Chain A
Amino acid sequence: ILNVEQSPQSLHVQEGDSTNFTCSFPSSNFYALHWYRWETAKSPEALFVMTLNGDEKKKGRISATLNTKEGYSYLYIKGSQPEDSATYLCAFIGGGSNYKLTFGKGTLLTVNP
């Protein structure tokens, strides 16, 4: 069973704060790393698919970086807004896993107005 860890488990920030959280995954046999955003009572929505060491992706105020050699990815949110409140999931794919995603447990972000 692959170990995909996300930290922190939960985070409360004030509107306007910038924040970041971490996804750790096995550094060997890397294929891809996904980030998803999951709002309560909705389905998870894809943010980024990252495949190359050093990848940086950006969508609006949200960005992500990838370090496959050390096995971590950071997700950054600049100037958090209440609508950013959600659970952020990362998912790892190893090359030897028949390309199946292994999800972390998520980071629950709450942005207070």
Chain B
Amino acid sequence: NAGVTQTPKFQVLKTGQSMTLQCAQDMNHNSMYWYRQDPGMGLRLIYYSASEGTTDKGEVPNGYNVSRLNKREFSLRLESAAPSQTSVYFCASSEAAQGNTIYFGEGSWLTVV
């Protein structure tokens, strides 16, 4: 049962470098999400895709871009990494955006130095 798979699990970047976090789900879910988790904060939504072909900004979208490549895959790109983007990133998916249970990946630990 793969569920939601995200890569890489750990990454260290230098300020200004770019990188893409990959996410794939095998549950045939319509909606996918990217969250970040910082100490003392709740999970905060970066971007989401309610269905294939659509993407929308969440609470903290600045500095990020996303691509919903197909129904399975939703990637998050940092164009020019900043130390403020040091965080744990979670990809998630749900059957639909309307309040369904969300299934999370295992997280990607990103450090920007």
Enumerate chain A interface residues (CB-CB to B < 8 A).
Answer: 1, 4, 31-32, 34, 36, 42-46, 49, 51, 89, 91, 93, 98-106
Question: Are the C-beta atoms of B99 and A104 separated by less than 8 Å?
Answer: no
Question: Are the C-beta atoms of B97 and A46 separated by less than 8 Å?
Answer: no
Q: Quick one: which of B55-113 are within 8 Å of A by CB?
A: 56, 58-59, 90, 97-107
Q: 6 other contacts beyond A43-B90, A43-B106, with CB at 8 A cut-off? A: A31-B98, A31-B99, A98-B56, A98-B97, A105-B40, A106-B42
Chain A's closest residue to B42 (CB) is A103
Indicate if B41 sits at the interface (CB-CB under 8 A). yes
Question: Are the C-beta atoms of A43 and B104 separated by less than 8 Å?
Answer: yes
* B13-37 near A? 1/0 per residue, CB < 8 Å: 0000000000000000000000100
Query: Looking at A43, A93, A104, A105, which has the most chain B CB atoms within 10 Å of its CB?
Result: A43
Chain A's closest residue to B41 (CB) is A105
Cα distance, A51 to B100, chains bound together (Å) = 10
Query: 8 closest A-B pairs (Cβ-Cβ)?
Result: A32-B99, A103-B42, A43-B104, A103-B43, A46-B101, A105-B42, A99-B97, A99-B98
Cα distance, A34 to B100, chains bound together (Å) = 9
Contact residues in A for B90 (Cβ distance below 8 Å):
43-44
Cα distance, A49 to B100, chains bound together (Å) = 8
* A–B pairs, 25, beta carbons within 8 Å: A1-B59, A4-B42, A31-B99, A32-B99, A34-B99, A36-B102, A42-B106, A43-B4, A43-B104, A44-B104, A45-B104, A46-B101, A46-B102, A49-B99, A49-B100, A91-B43, A98-B50, A98-B56, A99-B99, A100-B48, A100-B97, A101-B45, A102-B59, A103-B43, A106-B42
Contact residues in A for B45 (Cβ distance below 8 Å):
100-102
When the two chains form the complex, which single residue of B40, B41, B99, B105 contacts A93, counting CB atoms closer than 8 Å? B99
Cα distance, A4 to B42, chains bound together (Å) = 9
Contact residues in A for B48 (Cβ distance below 8 Å):
100
* Given A49-B99, A51-B99, A105-B41, A100:B107 Cβ within 8 A: no
Tell me the smallest distance from the CB of A17 to a CB of chain B, in Å: 26
Contact residues in B for A106 (Cβ distance below 8 Å):
42
